[in-house]
Amino acid sequence: MKAAVVVFPGSNCDRDCKVAIERSTGAHVDMVWHGDTELPAGLDLIVLPGGFSYGDYLRCGAMASLSPVMSEVKTAIERGVAVVGICNGFQVLCEAGLLPGALLRNEKLKYVCKAVDLDIVNGQTRFTAGFQGRREAVMTVGNGEGNFFADEETLDRLEGQGQVVFRYQDNPNGSARAIAGIVSDKGNVLGLMPHPDRAFEADLGSADGALLFQSVLASA
C-alpha cells in the first residue's frame, strides 16, 4: 500500500500524518511538495495535512488550492484514489471545489484545541468501515476557522445522501448541524476538522484515528 502527504508552505502536521499512517498501516508514505507537478505512481491514499498553508493569507486554504500539485490531486480523485483533507486540508478541499461548503471563523472567534467526542454518522464509507459498527470516536481539534458552513439546501443534500460522516457531540466551532466531517458524492474524498493524526495511539489519548487510516487503505 502506498500513500502520499502533500506539504504546503506552512503545513505543520505533514510529518505527523506520515508517522500516523506508517504506524497505523505499515504503508509506504511519500512526502510531496506542493510545487510538484507529478504524484508518485500507484497511490492508494493522498493526505492534505493540517497547518497554516501560505500563512492563512487571503482565506484559509485559498492559495494552497491553486498549488501546482492540486491539478494532479484532482486527476487522482477522478480516478477514484482516496483523498483525506485534515483541518487545513479540509479548507483546501473546499476552496478547490472538491467538497461543498466553507470553513469560517469559529463561532466564539477563539482558537479551539482539545479532544472531541464524535458521532460516526455514516459507518459505511471507505473511511469508516474499519470502525466495525462503532457509533462514536475520539479525536482532537486545533483550529481557529473550523466552523463548517453551507446553505440549507446543501446541508439537506449532504444529510440525505449520507455524506455527513462525523458530527460533534459538543460542537466546539459552531459548525452547521455540528458537522465535523463530510465525504464527496462519489465517496472517495473526506474532509474533516478533527485530527486522526493526533489520535492514532492509546498514549495520545485515543487510537481511533488509526482506524480511519486502516479503513481507507484496507479498501484500496
Catalytic positions are: 87, 195
Residues 62-84 as b/e (b if ≥16 CB within 10 A, e otherwise) read: bbbbebebbebbeebbeeebbbb
Residue 171, Cβ density class (10 Å: 0-12 exposed, 13-18 middle, ≥19 buried): middle
Report d(CA 21, CA 34) in Å as an integer. Answer: 19
Report d(CA 205, CA 182) in Å as an integer. Answer: 24
Angstrom CA distances, 81 to 41, 65, 131, 220, stand at: 11, 18, 21, 8
Written as one letter, the residue type at 157 is R
Neighbours of 31 (CB within 10 A): 14
Report d(CA 214, CA 200) in Å as an integer. Answer: 10
Residue whose cell numbers read 506539504: 7
Task: Residue 138: name the closest of 205, 51, 197, 50 by CA.
Answer: 205
